Structures are given as structure tokens and as C-alpha cells.
């Protein structure tokens, strides 16, 4: 080990001369670097011979059902945020909202319809229109049966 009082020494074949304080700092730095490289070397060989672990997941039908429900829920949420809708009902009576949705689906089969809860009221939204023009065109047909309907663009 190199000593601090020495003013000149050989380090990897190079003669180093400096004042004792700088030499002590240099010596400590070299010792730290040697320890670091030794630690890296040991970890490299230790990890190279480690056992491989195998993770096995058992996915039941219940998990698959829950994943499908979550995906469906996320898809509906994302869908309702991208499109214009026509609002048929806005109120606190869930039964009236569901009845209106059922009647609408009988009158306009194949059209998207959903009962949404926006605090403190239920809303019945129908249709998915990418732009306001197509929503207004559909509104003209729907207003023949539902005169209070109007176009909404829900952004949560």
C-alpha cells in the first residue's frame, strides 16, 4: 500500500510526484476504484451462474371474464369521449332513463344507446357521430319521435 508521506512513487510504471495531501486523496481514490472493480467482477461471475427462474401463471375463466369486462368498460368510456351523441333524457329517475333507452332501441334498432351517470343526474345518450354535421342529420330524424333531443359532445 502506498504511504501518504512519500512524495514520489511508481504507479503502474509511472512515477508520480506530488505534495502529500494530494497524494493521499489520489491513493484513496485508487483504493475505492479497486474495490468497485472487484465488486463488479464478483457480481458478474455470480450472476452468470445464477439459476434461471420460471414464472407460471394460472389464468382461470373468472380472471378472463374480469379482464374482458374491464376492456369493455374502457372501450365504452373511450368511445363516449370521442364522439358526439344525442341526449334524450336528463334526470334523476333511473327507471325512466332505462325505459326511454329501451323504447329508443325498439324505434331505432342497431343504434348505440347508453344510460350515463353524471352527478347528480342520469342521461340517455344515443348514437356515435364523428362530427357535428352527421349528429345534426341524425337529430332531424330522431326529433320526430323525441322532440326534446339535442346534440352533446361529452368531454370528461
Quick: pLDDT tens for 79-123.
Answer: 555 789 999 999 999 999 999 999 999 998 888 899 988 888 999
What is the rounded average pLDDT of the residues 34-43?
71
Is residue 97 within 8 Å of residue 115, measured between CB atoms?
yes
Cα 78 from Cα 82, distance rounded (Å): 7
Is 68 part of a structural domain of the chain? no
Q: Is residue 143 part of a domain?
A: yes
- Paired strand residues for 103: none
| Assigned domain for 28 exists | yes
Are 43 and 90 in the same domain?
A: no
φ, ψ of residue 60 in degrees (nearest 5): -90, 175
**With bands split at pLDDT 50, 70 and 90, how would you rate the model's confidence at 1?**
very low
Q: Range of 132's domain? A: 82-152
Do 86 and 130 share a domain, yes or no? yes
Residue 56 domain-assigned (yes or no): no
- The answer to whether residue 131 sits within a structural domain is yes
Pick the residue with more confidence: 34 or 24? 34
Q: How many domains does the chain have?
A: 2
Q: CATH number, domain at 88?
A: 3.30.70.1070
Shared-domain flag, residues 41 and 92: no
Rounded to two decimals, the pTM is: 0.48
**What number is the average pLDDT over the span 48-74?**
74
Spatial distance between the Cα atoms of 22 and 34, rounded to a whole number of angstroms: 18
Amino acid at each position: 500500500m502506498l504511504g501518504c508521506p512519500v512524495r514520489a512513487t511508481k504507479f503502474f510504471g509511472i512515477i508520480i510526484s506530488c505534495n502529500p495531501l494530494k497524494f493521499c486523496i489520489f491513493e484513496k481514490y485508487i483504493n475505492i476504484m479497486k474495490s468497485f472493480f472487484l465488486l463488479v467482477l464478483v457480481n458478474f461471475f455470480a450472476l452468470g451462474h445464477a439459476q434461471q427462474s420460471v414464472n407460471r401463471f394460472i389464468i382461470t375463466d373468472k380472471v378472463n371474464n374480469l379482464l374482458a369486462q374491464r376492456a369493455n368498460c374502457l372501450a365504452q368510456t373511450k368511445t363516449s369521449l370521442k364522439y358526439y351523441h344525442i341526449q334524450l333524457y336528463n334526470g334523476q329517475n333511473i327507471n325512466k332513463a332505462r325505459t326511454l333507452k329501451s323504447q329508443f332501441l325498439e324505434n331505432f334498432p342497431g343504434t348505440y344507446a347508453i344510460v350515463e351517470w353524471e352527478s347528480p343526474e342520469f342521461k340517455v345518450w344515443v348514437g356515435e357521430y364523428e362530427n357535428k354535421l352527421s349528429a345534426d342529420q341524425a337529430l332531424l330524424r330522431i326529433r320526430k319521435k323525441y322532440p326534446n333531443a339535442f346534440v352533446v359532445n361529452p368531454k370528461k
